[in-house]
Amino acid sequence: MESLIGVKLGCLFGLFTLTLVCGLSPIFSKWFKIDAATGCHLRVLNLLGCASAGIFLGAGFMHMTAEALEGIESEIQKFFGQNRTESKRNPSSDAGSAFVEYPYGELIISLGFFLIFLLESLALQCCAGATGQSTVQEEDSGGNPVFDFHSHASLHSRKQSPFRDFVLLLSLSFHSVFEGLAVGLQPTIAATIQLCLAVLAHKGLVVFGVALRLVKIGTGSRWAISSILSLAFMSPLGLALGMTMAARNSEGWKGLVQAILEGLAAGTFLYVTFLEILPRELSNYEAPLAKWGCVAAGFTFMAFIALWA
The reported pLDDT for the residue numbered 297 is 93
The reported pLDDT for the residue numbered 203 is 80
Contact 32, 278 (CB under 8 A): no
Contact 224, 162 (CB under 8 A): no
Q: Give the contacts of 200 (CB within 8 A, at least 6 positions apart).
A: 14, 15, 18
Q: Is residue 35 part of a domain?
A: yes
Q: Is residue 131 part of a domain?
A: no
| Structural domains counted in the chain | 1
Q: Domain residues for 291?
A: 2-83+102-122+173-305
- pTM of the predicted model as reported, rounded to 2 decimal places: 0.70
Which pLDDT tens digits describe the chain residue by residue (309 residues)? 678 888 888 888 888 888 898 888 888 888 877 666 677 877 888 888 888 888 889 888 988 888 889 888 888 887 777 655 555 555 555 555 555 678 889 999 999 899 888 887 887 777 644 444 443 344 444 444 433 433 333 444 344 556 677 777 888 888 888 778 778 777 778 778 877 887 887 788 888 888 888 888 777 888 888 888 988 888 888 888 777 776 665 555 667 777 888 888 888 888 888 887 888 888 777 788 899 999 999 999 888 887 776
The reported pLDDT for the residue numbered 83 is 55
Nearest in space to 176 (alpha carbons), one of 67, 24, 305: 67
Q: From CA 69, how far away is CA 77, in angstroms rounded? A: 12
Q: Is residue 143 part of a domain?
A: no
Q: Is residue 90 part of a domain?
A: no
Q: Is residue 164 part of a domain?
A: no
Q: Is residue 157 part of a domain?
A: no
DSSP codes of every residue in 208-253: HHHHHHHHHTT--HHHHHHHHHHHHHHHHHHHHHHHHHHHHT--TT
Q: Is residue 271 part of a domain?
A: yes
Q: Is residue 44 part of a domain?
A: yes
